[in-house]
Amino acid sequence: MKLGTGVGGWLAGIEAAARKAEQAGYDYVSCGELAHDSILTMTLAAAATDTVELQTSVTIAFPRSPFVLAQEAWDLQAYSKGRFTLGLGSQVKGHNERRFSIPWSAPAPRMREYIMMMHAVWDSWQDGKSADFLGKHYRYTLMTPNFNPGPIEYPRPKVALAVVGAGMARVAGEMADVILPHGGIMTDRYMREVLLPNVKIGLDRAGRTWQDVEIAASGYLVMGKDEREIAQNLNRQRQALSFYGSTRTYHEVLRMHGLEALGHKLHQLSLRGAWQEMREVITEDDLRALCQTCTYDEYPQFIKEHREYASLMGFGMPTRTVEEQERAMALMAALRAIENPGVPGEMGSVRSR
């Protein structure tokens, strides 16, 4: 199992954070793209490290030309000596139209073309293939020597794809190297009943198997040293749930667990800017309907039993005391030693929380 941690924020702190992660033994570092640019972040992380893998989680695709992003990823792959994975996400309609000021269209077929065009660009640089990609949303039919950086001595960058809905899961199974279920609002039941079966459809369409993709472990999970601490930590999930649950794009997850009314309530509160009230309307029963729980001691076995499809996962633990630091190191070692089959055990089944 590969373990990753996040780096982000202002660029001045990226290099130190990436070096620290590499020294701590993480297999990869990732960065989101909220208030800062993911490509700049990963460039600095590449400059400061030698072995740790680099992954954007995610770069927002549609505001960028696929050619521009292919060029940036090509340079980063060469600069990092083959350590870069380009994680793509579509973002939701409102942010594309109102924040990025770009037209919106059905995201799954558009993302499929986006990745296909990037592959076509890389093929023309690496193997000299003709620029002849024609799609509904994107086209690539011109490449002259002045604009061709030429081949690199590493494999083309891996493409990771963030998924929430069934359509994007099918595209991920067909096109992506790494699959990133949206951790902000994801349950084990939704993962097994919606996302993984649709990933399988995409794999079958492309003549691929589960061994052709890496899948990140996902699903709300709350841990603690005992049940009392688990109950305390469960309360911290209110912030993420209130934010993502207010967006109608994610209401299918809530609907599956009988919480569609909660989603509508959160959405209405968000329109009023009632951020604190959004947290308060979420009950403990709501949280327990969505979250799995385990103690720290049970964590490695939990991953083996409930995330058997996964080959990478984010890892973060409290390290404020010597005891916590020792626990984190021991768990890192135990988790990295896990060799999951990478195939869903009971696709579509509901597993116990």
Is the torsion defined by CA of 222, 225, 228, 233 positive or negative? Answer: negative
Domain ranges, residue 29: 2-227+292-336
Q: How confident is the model at residue 347 (pLDDT cuts 50, 70, 90)?
A: low
Classify residue 256: in a domain, yes or no.
Answer: no
Q: Which CATH number characterizes residue 71's domain?
A: 3.20.20.30
Give 125-158 pLDDT, tens digit per residue. 999 999 999 999 999 999 999 999 999 999 999 9
For residue 63, how far is the Cα from the chain centroid? 18
CA count, 13 A, side-chain hemisphere, 179: 33
From the number of C-beta atoms within 10 Å of its C-beta (0-12, 13-18, 19+), residue 104 rates as middle
Classify residue 282: in a domain, yes or no.
Answer: no
Is the per-residue pLDDT at 352 higher than 50? no
Structure-block tokens of residue 208 = 């691929």
Residue positions counted in the chain: 353
Give 153-182 pLDDT, tens digit per residue. 999 999 999 999 999 999 999 999 999 998
Number of domains making up the chain: 1
Structural contact between residues 317 and 328, judged by C-beta atoms closer than 8 angstroms: yes
DSSP string, 122-176: HHHHHH-----EE-SS-EE----GGG-----SSPPPEEEEEE-SHHHHHHHHHH-
Q: Which pLDDT score is estimated for 346?
A: 64
Classify residue 157: in a domain, yes or no.
Answer: yes
Q: Which pLDDT score is estimated for 318?
A: 87
Classify residue 252: in a domain, yes or no.
Answer: no
Give 308-324 pLDDT, tens digit per residue. 999 999 999 989 999 99
From the number of C-beta atoms within 10 Å of its C-beta (0-12, 13-18, 19+), residue 8 rates as buried
Classify residue 280: in a domain, yes or no.
Answer: no
Classify residue 202: in a domain, yes or no.
Answer: yes
Q: What average pLDDT is seen over the chain?
A: 95
Confidence (pTM)? 0.93
What is the C-alpha separation between 31 and 20, in angstroms, rounded? 15
Q: Which pLDDT score is estimated for 348?
A: 38
Classify residue 168: in a domain, yes or no.
Answer: yes
Is the per-residue pLDDT at 349 higher than 60? no
Classify residue 160: in a domain, yes or no.
Answer: yes
